[in-house]
Structure 1
C-alpha cells in the first residue's frame, strides 16, 4: 500500500520514495478560472492539505 506523506514538502522525494501524490488541480480550476472581479479568496481548513514545493 502506498502512503500519503505528511512530513515532506519535497515533490522529488515523494516520487522517489513511492508516496501517493494527490493532485487537486482539476477540482480547483473551475473555481479560480472564472472572472470573479479583482480579488478572489480561496481558503481551506488548517492542515487539510499542504503545498508541496521547495
Structure 2
C-alpha cells in the first residue's frame, strides 16, 4: 500500500497526510499545492496504475 500511496501522490502532485475513514469508507487525506484537503478511497489507490510501470 505504501508504494501505491507514494506513486499516486507523485502523479497527482499531492502530499499524503493521514489515513482516514469517511462515511465507512477507508482512504487517505492528501493536501494539494493550495493546501486543500482531498480524500481518496483506498480502492482507488490500489487500482492506480502509473503509465511508466511495466506490465
TM over 0.5: no
Q: TM-score, normalised on structure 1?
A: 0.25
Identify, as 1 or 2, the structure richer in strand.
2
Identify, as 1 or 2, the structure richer in helix.
2
Q: TM-score, normalised on structure 2?
A: 0.25
> Larger radius of gyration, structure 1 or 2?
1
